[in-house]
């Protein structure tokens, strides 16, 4: 069992409260996943710059002077903003691969949580309320975000086993369920050259989407094909630069509830997670259909429920 929450804002005036709303939703889902928690938040973008969120077990030493060391290697300014065990690196756009290689040389124990122009991912082991407090998630603003509370079934309770998983630039995945063919799929993907760090089933799901998209699939196509290639139970919520998507396996035993108003589209594993959102009494509340890919994007017309192409 795990808990998923997601919030996509249509009303810009709510953006400063995104972190606060999402944190409250996340904490409500504590009973579904008390062992670790994580959040992916899509915030402001600076022209010509990208972001990388990194994590270290000993942040005091690992992050000290890291910005300078990286600047020296890539020959451009690198900014750093440390939040507990995580740090957001402000890097020149297009330098992600270079920075990643440099990080490996400087300190191989520093772990990459996310990369992209808007995306930041924070995740740790612990009760959702403690993880939220650790990173001051309630203070964050943004256009949309997704969160996850984990009750591990398939692999160890570690930071790297927590969700969300970064699947590509500005893309991430959270999962409720368990994949049963993750071992064979992991072997296959590793042969294809995809980097998979843990024995976690969801990481394989994330790697699968990454691999599909590297081979030219759109995120929507990758999600459609996941319905054929992934065996097991899943409700996936994926975050993208412009919005989020939802897909459930054809059996759909893992719960999912959605709510939409003029101000937002919200996802919760249970209705409980949505009860404190503004105007929820008048919201359209429904369960996403099995084996159907849903997307909401800031790029499309408001209140879209377009199927991904």
Partner 1 sequence: MQTIDLSEVGLRALNKTLHAQTNHTNQTNWEIVNPKGAHAIACGLDAPIEVTVKGSTGYYCAGMNQQATVNIHGSAGPGTGENIMSGKIIIEGDASQYLGATGHGGLIVVKGNASSRCGISMKGVNIVVKGSVGHMSAFMGQSGNLVVCGDAGDALGDSCYEARFFVRGTVKSLGADCEKKEMRPEHITLLQELLDEAGIDADPSEFTRYGSARNLYNFDVDNAGAY
CA dihedral 273, 274, 278, 284 (to 10 degrees): 180
- Cβ nearer to partner 1, comparing 137 with 252: 252
- Residue 173 tokens, joined: 């995945």
Residue 2 annotated as catalytic: yes
Q: Would you tell me how many other CB atoms lie within 10 Å of the CB of residue 127?
A: 16
The residues, ordered by sequence, that sit 6+ positions from 88 with a Cβ below 8 Å of its Cβ are 51, 52, 53, 80, 81, 120
Residue 252 CB, shortest distance to partner 1, in Å, is: 6
- Cβ nearer to partner 1, comparing 100 with 271: 271
CB 171 within 8 A of CB 238: yes
Residue 265 CB, shortest distance to partner 1, in Å, is: 17
Q: What is the DSSP string of 230-294?
A: --EEEEEEEE-SSEEEEEE-SS--S--EEEE-SSEEEEESSGGGGTTSTTGGGSEEEPPPTT--E
Residue 264 CB, shortest distance to partner 1, in Å, is: 17
Cα 108 to its chain centre, rounded Å, is 23
- Cβ nearer to partner 1, comparing 227 with 285: 285
- Cβ nearer to partner 1, comparing 129 with 272: 272
Residue 272 CB, shortest distance to partner 1, in Å, is: 4
CB 202 within 8 A of CB 163: yes
Q: Which residues bind partner 1 (CB under 8 A)?
A: 250, 252-253, 255, 257, 270-275, 285-287, 290
Residue 25 CB, shortest distance to partner 1, in Å, is: 12
Cα 99 to its chain centre, rounded Å, is 21
- Cβ nearer to partner 1, comparing 74 with 280: 280
DSSP helix/strand/coil, 72: helix
Q: Running DSSP on this structure, what letter comes out for residue 58?
A: S
Give the active site residue among 1, 2, 234, 238: 2
Q: Which residues are catalytic?
A: 2
């Amino acid at each position: 069992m795990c808990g998923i929450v997601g919030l996509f804002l249509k009303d810009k005036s709510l953006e400063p409260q995104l972190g606060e709303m999402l944190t409250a939703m996340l904490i409500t889902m504590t009973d579904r996943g008390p062992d670790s928690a994580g959040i992916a938040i899509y915030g402001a973008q600076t022209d010509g710059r990208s972001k990388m969120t990194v994590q270290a077990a000993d942040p005091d030493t690992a992050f000290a002077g890291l910005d300078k060391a990286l600047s020296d290697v890539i020959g451009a300014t690198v900014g750093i903003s440390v939040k507990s065990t995580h740090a957001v690196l402000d890097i020149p756009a297009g330098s992600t691969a270079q920075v990643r290689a440099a990080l490996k040389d400087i300190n191989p124990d520093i772990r990459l949580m996310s990369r992209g122009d808007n995306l930041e991912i924070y995740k740790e082991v612990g009760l959702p309320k403690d993880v939220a407090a650790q990173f001051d998630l309630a203070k964050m603003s943004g256009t949309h975000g997704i969160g996850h509370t984990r009750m591990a079934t398939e692999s160890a309770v570690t930071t790297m086993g927590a969700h969300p998983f970064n699947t590509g630039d500005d893309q991430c995945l959270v999962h409720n369920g368990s994949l049963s063919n993750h071992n064979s799929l992991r072997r296959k993907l590793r042969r294809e050259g995809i980097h998979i760090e843990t024995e976690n089933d969801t990481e394989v799901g994330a790697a699968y989407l990454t691999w599909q998209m590297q081979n030219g699939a759109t995120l929507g196509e990758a999600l459609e094909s996941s319905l054929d290639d992934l065996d097991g139970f899943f409700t996936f919520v994926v975050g993208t630069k412009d919005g989020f998507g939802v897909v459930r396996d054809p059996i759909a035993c893992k719960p999912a509830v959605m709510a939409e108003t003029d101000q937002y589209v919200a996802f919760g594993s249970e209705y409980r997670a949505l009860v404190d959102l503004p105007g929820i009494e008048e919201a359209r509340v429904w369960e996403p259909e099995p084996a159907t890919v849903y997307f909401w994007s800031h790029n499309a017309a408001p209140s879209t429920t377009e199927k991904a192409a």
